[in-house]
Structure 1
Amino acid sequence: MKSRVESPGKLLQSERLEFRIYRDEDFEFLCSLLGDPQVVRFIGDGETRSRSQAYEFLYWIYRSYKEAPETGLRLLVRLEDGKPVGHAGLVQQTVDGAEELEIGYWIAPQYWGLGYAKEAAASIRDYGIERLGRKRFVSLIQPENKASRKVAESIGMGFEKAVSMGGKEVFVYSLDVAEDGGKKG
């Protein structure tokens, strides 16, 4: 899988996906993700969000771009037809008091099973290593989310520990990059 680093607006491009910053016109797609019980069942408290909560989430994404322009969630746009299929990115998280960089990914249900999550996660991992020089990544995954655990494992992450976040058990999958550039889960 080949990734190309792009301008700040386009974080990168993979074989089938363009990773670009969210814009106001992407709100309806974001709202559809946040309002879909299938998408959010393993995100946070598992509850869908209202339109006003979706606006708050979009503004959080915008703030993250200002605070750390090279990270944050990016809209995943399919190259073949320009359709958004989900979002992915590197997100700052605090886990057990430690600052971590999470590889996060959400895909709209109509695109599940097509390999977009794996492609996005691998591209984000490579971007973090090659462009940002990061040596450690995590993914925070609820235990029942077998598909997301499989994606994390497919990009070299391994189960590290279980933690409690927001009153829910969450599995921390991690990847530590060896000094020689090799990956170890």
Structure 2
Amino acid sequence: MESERLRMRPFSEADYPFYKTLVQNELVMRYINGGIALDDAEAQIWFERQFERYEDERQTGFLLLEKKETREAVGFAGLVLQEVDGVEELEVGYWLTPIHWKVGYGREAANRLMQEAFERGNDRLISIIHPENTSSQNVARANGLQWEKETVFKGVPVVIYSCRLSRLFRG
């Protein structure tokens, strides 16, 4: 899968060192997992979960994001099934290396994944965002998601942004 500047592909085992640098980076994890970076064992479990997600056609799992021109890894993004308030939801999410923040990669990757979700027959899509993560809330709004509610997800207060894909990608 590709967007204007990014190539998105499933992780391979060789991508684990890059993945680990993101999930163990305190800046990246500030608004994820209750603000706690993963230890080595947790990082391995989270990474292996992606391969299980790849088997489920309802989601993409997290995909490695690479710059098309250089193949430099900039982060990962994907469509992931989550349970929110007892309901299974499809979430679009992304994680970027701090040096690649504020250049539009999150918005670009999320938008392409939203199109993918629509092409796969989904209509409702959410983003689960920490209430203080205004950058991610701005990305969600820029891509047509709207604030829906506040809730608790895996023990952490969050806000849910949602959209109807049919309203964004008609015809």
TMscore range, shorter length: over 0.9
Alpha-carbon distance between aligned partners in 2 of 1:145 and 1:77, rounded to the nearest angstrom: 24
In structure 2, runs of 5+ residues without a counterpart are none
Query: Which residue in the other structure is 2:101 paired with?
Result: 112
Q: Structure 2 vs 1, CA of residues 113 and 62 (structure 1 numbering), >3 Å: closer, same or farther? A: same
Which residue of 2 is the match for residue 168 of structure 1?
156
Gaps (5+ residues) in structure 1? 1-11
Give the aligned partner of residue 3 of structure 1: none
Instruction: Supply the distance in 2 between the matched residues of 1:25 and 1:69 (Cα, whole angstroms).
Output: 25
Of 90, 95, 102, the residue aligned with 2:91 is 102
- Are 1:71 and 2:60 matched, yes or no? yes
**What's the Cα RMSD here?**
1.5
- Tell me, in whole angstroms, the C-alpha distance in 1 between the residues paired with 2:169 and 2:73: 32
1:50: how far off? Answer: 1.7
Relative distance call for 1:95 and 1:17 in structure 2 (3 A) is: same
- Matched to 2:125, the amino acid is F
The 3 A distance-change label for structure 1 pair 176 and 50 is same
**Structure-2 separation of matches of 1:94 and 1:47:** 21
1:111-152 CA distance string (max 9 Å, x none): 01111000000000011112x011010000010000000010
Runs of 4+ in 1 over 6 A off after TM superposition: none
TM-score between both structures, scaled by the size of structure 1: 0.87
Corresponding residue of 1:150:
138
> Residue 67 of structure 1 aligns to a residue in which SS?
coil
Matches within 5 A, 1:21-100: 21-68=10-57, 71-100=60-89
The aligned length equals 170
Question: 1:176 deviation in Å?
Answer: 1.1
**In structure 2, what is the Cα distance between the partners aligned to 1:88 and 1:180?**
20
